[in-house]
Amino acid sequence: MQNTYFVDGVRTPFGKAGEKGVYWNTRADDLIVKSMIGLLDRHPNLPKESIDDVAIAATTQTGDQGLTIGRTSTLLAGLPLSVPGFAIDRMCAGAMTAVTMTGSAIGVGAYDVVLAGGVEHMGRHPMGEGADPNPRFIAEKLVDPEALNMGNTAEKIHDRFPSLTKERADAFAVRSQQRAAAAYDKGYIQQDLVTISATTAEGVRVVDRDELLRPDSTIEGMKDLKTPFRAGGKVTAGNASPLTDGATISLLAGDQAVKQYGLKPRMRMVGFAFAGVEPEIMGIGPIPSTEKALKKAGLSIDDIGLFEINEAFAVQVLSFLEHFKIADDDKRVNAWGGAIAFGHPLASSGVRLMNQLSRQFEMQPDVRYGITSMCIGLGMGGTVIWENEFFDGKKK
């Protein structure tokens, strides 16, 4: 048995999905390959043959996201033929699951060094593309038909919890944009971005910034946005994450590898949990997964000093905060902004959360524990608890 550490992580800038997006002519596998190369370039003393496995997630595993993308990307990135790889699908929590699965393998000594991440090209592969849901889901009332549309599930959270108003959702979304802009202004986000050269209709473009940031967002400007999922609804393009293309990758290692290769971990995996909820209100999934993870770790919500919660929809994060009696504008929550500002390329988002948490740990040595958490399509939630390797109390 050994500890599992998050050593480092990078991502591409996230781009707008669709023909007008910066990555429309860029393959999904090239996005993850460029991320892998960028990450490994930051660790020249780590022998590539020491990597025990590569886990890459994608929600839609077809086309340039298919063919066991964990293995194909490993070959394309120039890793030795001896390094294996595999693909994972847990919808939005794909990269998170890649980390927890391979991190667990490190914990029991099966692996020492792994790469884990995810990619989603939502422009090339819209969510649900090619899927054929079993008719029994509807015929036998196993799943509410609206559960197959994520926007509808967010509207249903508003329905069930009247205190989670559109006004609160809009205000939360504006704060996310403002915090992301402030983090960019201070150079916090750029330190873990891999610059991408993309071919667009206007020619070759160097992409070094997330494409969909809206720093000038205001509550007043959000009031009259269309509600695409139902007439007179509460979910809009302003208080939801935009459709996005992008890739993320992390480097995980155990005690032995950290010592052998002189790696400098940012945080230690304490524990994790996944939980299921009603598919039609999938956004509340982080509540039971967090409760489960905390119980297994012997911690309480009061022990958590930093939160990175994926902002699939503002109302989903608000449901978490209200349940745990945390203020909507708490500075510990998504301090550098979230998916409403950056985008949410489904299976890749989990590692973005980890990147941001680990960097905040580095800057806040008084904080010991933090969590990364996200809701997952079809009614699930996932939470990982991390310990700050820069924590003052750990210094000898």
Q: Which residues are catalytic, by number?
A: 92, 344, 375
Range list of H helices, 211-285: 219-222, 255-261
Contact (CB, 8 A) for 148 and 379: no
Own/partner pairs, 228-231, CB within 8 angstroms, 24+ separation: 228/151, 229/149, 229/151, 229/152, 229/154, 229/155, 230/152, 230/155
Handedness of CA 281, 291, 294, 311 (dihedral sign): positive
Token pair for 349: 């988002």
Q: Which residue, 309, 250, 371, is CA-closest to 5?
A: 250
CA distance 294 to 245: 32
CB 248 within 8 A of CB 97: no
Query: 87 - beta bridge partners?
Result: 56
Residues in Cβ contact with 295 at an 8 Å cutoff, skipping those fewer than 6 apart: none
Nearest to 241 by CA among 371, 344, 325: 344
Structure tokens that stand for 86 in this block = 């595999």
Residues 6+ apart with CB under 8 A from 73: 29, 32, 33, 36, 54, 56, 85
Per DSSP, the three-state class of 385 is strand
Q: How many helices (H) and strands (E) does the chain have?
A: 12, 12
* Distance between first and last Cα of the chain: 23
Do 341 and 182 contact (CB within 8 A), yes or no?
Answer: no
